[in-house]
Amino acid sequence: MILSGPQKNRADKKQLIILLKNSLRLDFRGRRPSARSSRVSPLVMTMVFYGIMGLSVSATLVTDASPFMYSLLLLSYSMVMMVFAVILEFGHSIIHPDDKEILGFRPVSSRTYFLSRLGNILIFVAMTGSALTLLPSLVGLGLGVKWMFVPVFYGVSLLGNLAGAAMVVLFYTTLLRLVPYRRFQNVLAGAQIAFAFLVFFSYQLIPRLGREFLNAGPEIKTWLYVWPPAWFSAMIQVFMGNHNPDYWILSSLAVGLTTFLFVVAFRRISMQYASLISSMQQGDVSDDEPERLKESVFRIQEGRLLNRFRHPEVQAGYFIAVRMLKRDRSVKMGVYPILGMPLAFFALTILDGGLANPFSGGVVGTTRIGIMMLFFVMAVVVMGMIYSQEWEASWIFHVSPLRSPGHLIQGVKLAVLFRVVIPLYILIGVVYSTQIPLLDAWLYTGSLLIEGLVVFSAVSLAIKSFPFSQPRERGERTRRITVLLLVVPLLGMIILIQHFVSRSFRAWVLMHAGLVLMAFVIERGALKRLNRVLRTVDPV
């Protein structure tokens, strides 16, 4: 029952506390795959990863940057990461159409709905912001500043992160009034690629900044007025006793932005929250048109290829994955953002001087990192394919006469390989063909494909559930992406081995023959493990 009249503008304190407590319990609970084991909440693991990332970035900057640029770059990094985290967790953080199904028949006002969600996201932002900025505030003492820098930097950073999250919420809720929910999810999935690109591009760009830029002060005026992190960085300088007029102007912009977001924008959203989730539900139903299979040359060849597999579970897993990528928007939104990472590394490759020919002794560090990162991305994508909004239907796997459940997972992996990985590698080959000789370009692309298949096979060793059989949890998507940031330094050893092997064609052939054999052995071993593990999984 959605309240109307004067009651809809009131917030019930008791209802608000109950709703907020329940939402926090759901966020922090560790899902129990069996009665004997438990797992730490993905949200907690995400906070740990954020803390490590914030520490690594601040340690990179503290030796060369001025106090203003240190604050500016750390705030830029933390605010971008905060925006990205809110985008990834949008359905869990501020608005979700299922709220109406659970609470719509109860006498809960629109403002109570909204304030419970707002309280949840404020706690989420405070935790994430603390993980990103608490350690950098302590590391900042290495700049030679006063001890007051620690609480000032930490407090202003939290305010900036709250403002960044509020901007995302305001933008998305405004967009939802104009666009049907299903179409909004499609647009959001594409936009997340761009945000992921910006996050990882900035993550790798910071170590490349020159000393002159890092030592710069407020004299850089051309872009500070349009970059919100600069406004909050100036506020830090004002609190530290630097009363430069530019800092005061920028600080005023930060105060004005925060006031507008928390007083004007949120008040308007809170009044319309109940009607907004109602329209989301209606849009979700009205746009649910029957999907039609389009016959094409690609689909015909795809079907013929799948018919070569003698296990029907492989074919079933393949087509389930393809259909879920189309049907369940949450699956698509869990896959697309991660694809921004290899694109960011390719952009950095161009920034570093272009693509080199590995067979002529060229230095291809950034290039190889980018492409090897692609396979770690695909491994994380496959791991993400166990989650779905329609996870309740996973009982079908437990009652179906599956002779080999492991082949079902292999089918899902094939869908990711054929629909995502191979098209991207064709694009990579085309790009390389414009930079190095044609034969070398496609030979190199093929070798990278073989190298990545080892990682792609090994991902099955970490799977413990049927595909699309687990509900989404707060922090799950963000955790999968932040893990990849920590993997980047480990790729240096692989690059070094590849550099020496590429000098001899015989060594190159032997290495890749060994990799093919390794991928085959890992896949066979993983298949046996999956058959054993999935047969013992309890129905949800």
pLDDT of residue 159: 92
User: Both 326 and 276 in a single domain?
Assistant: no
**Domain end call among 283, 299, 322:** 283
Residue 396 within any structural domain of the chain = yes
Residue 504 within any structural domain of the chain = yes
Mean pLDDT of the chain: 73
Is pLDDT at 292 greater than 50 in this prediction?
no
Greatest mean pLDDT range, 137-141, 323-327, 443-447: 137-141
Residue 540 within any structural domain of the chain = no
Residue 92 within any structural domain of the chain = yes
Q: Rounded to whole angstroms, what are the CA distances from 182 to 289, 327, 332, 333?
A: 11, 10, 12, 12
Reported as a pLDDT band with limits 50, 70 and 90, residue 235 is very high
Q: With beta carbons less than 8 A apart as the criterion, state whether 253 and 231 touch.
A: yes
Q: Residue 493: which domain range?
A: 314-534
Reduced to 3 states (helix: H, G, I; strand: E, B; else coil), residue 521 is helix
**And the tokens for 212?**
């002159």
**And the tokens for 320?**
């389930």
**Domain end call among 264, 283, 302:** 283
β-bridge mates for residue 69, sequence order: none
Greatest mean pLDDT range, 352-366, 474-488, 494-508: 494-508
Among the listed ranges 11-20, 168-177, 359-368, which one has the minimum average pLDDT value?
359-368
Q: What integer is the mean pLDDT of 290-303?
A: 54
* Nearest-angstrom CA–CA distance, 240 and 146: 8
**And the tokens for 409?**
């997972």
For 25-39, letters b (16+ CB in 10 Å) and e give eebeeeeeeeeeeee
Is pLDDT at 6 greater than 80 in this prediction?
no
User: Both 234 and 322 in a single domain?
Assistant: no
pLDDT of residue 200: 67
User: Both 395 and 529 in a single domain?
Assistant: yes
Alpha helical stretches, state H, 31-108? 42-61, 67-88, 90-93, 98-103
Residue 308 within any structural domain of the chain = no
User: Both 273 and 320 in a single domain?
Assistant: no
User: Both 380 and 262 in a single domain?
Assistant: no
Q: What integer is the mean pLDDT of 297-319?
A: 73
| DSSP state, residue 465 | S
Nearest one of 131, 123, 130 to 24, comparing CA atoms: 123
User: Both 362 and 482 in a single domain?
Assistant: yes
Q: Name the domain count of the chain.
A: 2
Reported as a pLDDT band with limits 50, 70 and 90, residue 449 is confident
pLDDT of residue 508: 75
Nearest one of 487, 44, 145, 109 to 275, comparing CA atoms: 109
Is pLDDT at 136 greater than 60 in this prediction?
yes
Give per-residue pLDDT as tens, 401-413: 888 888 888 888 8
pLDDT of residue 35: 42
* Nearest-angstrom CA–CA distance, 77 and 84: 11
What one-character-per-residue DSSP string does 371-409 give? HHHHHHHHHHHHHHTTB-TTGGGGHHHHHS--S-HHHHH
pLDDT of residue 427: 79
pLDDT of residue 363: 45
User: Both 74 and 148 in a single domain?
Assistant: yes
Residues 6+ apart with CB under 8 A from 87: 168, 188, 191, 192, 195, 337
pLDDT of residue 83: 79
User: Both 408 and 328 in a single domain?
Assistant: yes
User: Both 12 and 102 in a single domain?
Assistant: yes
pLDDT of residue 303: 65
**Domain end call among 234, 261, 283:** 283
Among the listed ranges 105-114, 144-153, 268-277, 522-531, which one has the minimum average pLDDT value?
268-277
Is pLDDT at 126 greater than 50 in this prediction?
yes
pLDDT of residue 156: 92
Greatest mean pLDDT range, 22-26, 202-206, 477-481: 22-26
Longest dimension (CA), the chain: 81
Reduced to 3 states (helix: H, G, I; strand: E, B; else coil), residue 472 is coil
Nearest one of 296, 297, 319 to 306, comparing CA atoms: 319
Nearest one of 528, 395, 511, 399 to 460, comparing CA atoms: 528
pLDDT above 90: percentage of residues in the chain: 4
User: Both 207 and 68 in a single domain?
Assistant: yes
Residues 6+ apart with CB under 8 A from 376: 455, 484, 487
User: Both 346 and 469 in a single domain?
Assistant: yes
User: Both 335 and 459 in a single domain?
Assistant: yes
Inter-axis angle of helices 110-139 and 67-88, to 10 degrees? 140
* Nearest-angstrom CA–CA distance, 172 and 168: 6
